[in-house]
């Protein structure tokens, strides 16, 4: 790697400084708004420092959130939804990943490509169809409906990662385990730790 001249170094540092300002400024602005007691609605002007620094905003949000639930209830709902979505995506993704890694069937490559494209689909593009679907089956205001949506968006990631993990294990080891009388559940248990 060659050394930069002094003026190239100055230009590089200047450009990196501008990029850093654009990266850090929104985060700083959000933190400043969180500690500013003078804001009672949408902020109307840009400031670098809070006009009235306070922690009372956090106390207010903790004791009286705008929703009907309190913070521990909201946290419980988040844990239920995220934990359930993670569990469901691993359980459903496990069988699909194993099938894509070990079996040869018609449409296998096409299916993998469609799953791969699903990982790049922006969630905003599916808001209207999901709203209509969840409303029609009665899960629009239910934690189960939200869990299903998160599971659907996590599935491509799970399938592709677990498929690669299954492909890393030689097929001969699985065949030897089946010859020794291992069941599918025992085999999955072994694959999980190797």
pLDDT tens-digit profile of 138-187?
888 889 999 999 998 899 989 988 888 888 888 887 778 778 777 777 77
CA distance 98 to 192: 12
> What's the whole-number mean pLDDT along residues 24-52?
78
Residue 17: per-residue pLDDT:
92
The ranges assigned to domains in the chain are 6-63, 71-192
Closest CA to 62 of 78, 80, 75: 75
Overall CATH class of domain 71-192: mainly alpha
Q: Which residues contact 65 (CB under 8 A, 6 or more apart)?
A: 71, 74
For residue 2, is pLDDT > 90?
A: no
pLDDT tens-digit profile of 110-144?
988 888 888 888 888 888 888 898 899 988 888 99
Q: Which residues contact 122 (CB under 8 A, 6 or more apart)?
A: none
Residue 146 near residue 134 (C-beta atoms within 8 A): no
Average predicted confidence (pLDDT) for the chain: 83
Q: Which of 46-50, 71-75, 118-122 has the lowest mean pLDDT?
A: 46-50
């Amino acid at each position: 790697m060659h050394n930069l001249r002094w003026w190239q170094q100055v230009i590089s540092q200047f450009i990196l400084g501008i990029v850093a300002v654009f990266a850090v400024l929104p985060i700083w602005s959000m933190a400043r708004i969180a500690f500013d007691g003078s804001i009672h609605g949408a902020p109307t002007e840009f400031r670098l420092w809070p006009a009235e620094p306070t922690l009372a905003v956090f106390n207010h949000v903790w004791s009286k959130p705008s929703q009907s639930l309190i913070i521990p209830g909201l946290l419980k709902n988040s844990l239920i939804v995220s934990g359930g979505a993670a569990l469901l995506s691993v359980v459903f993704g496990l069988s699909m990943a194993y099938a894509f890694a070990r079996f040869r069937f018609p449409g296998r490559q096409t299916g993998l490509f469609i799953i791969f494209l699903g990982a790049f689909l922006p969630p905003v593009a599916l808001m209207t169809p999901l709203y209509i679907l969840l409303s029609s089956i009665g899960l629009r205001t239910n934690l189960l409906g939200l869990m299903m949506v998160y599971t659907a968006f996590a599935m491509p990631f799970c399938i592709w990662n677990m498929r690669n993990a299954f492909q890393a294990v030689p097929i001969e080891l699985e065949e030897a385990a089946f010859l020794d009388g291992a069941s599918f559940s025992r085999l999955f248990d072994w694959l999980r730790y190797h």
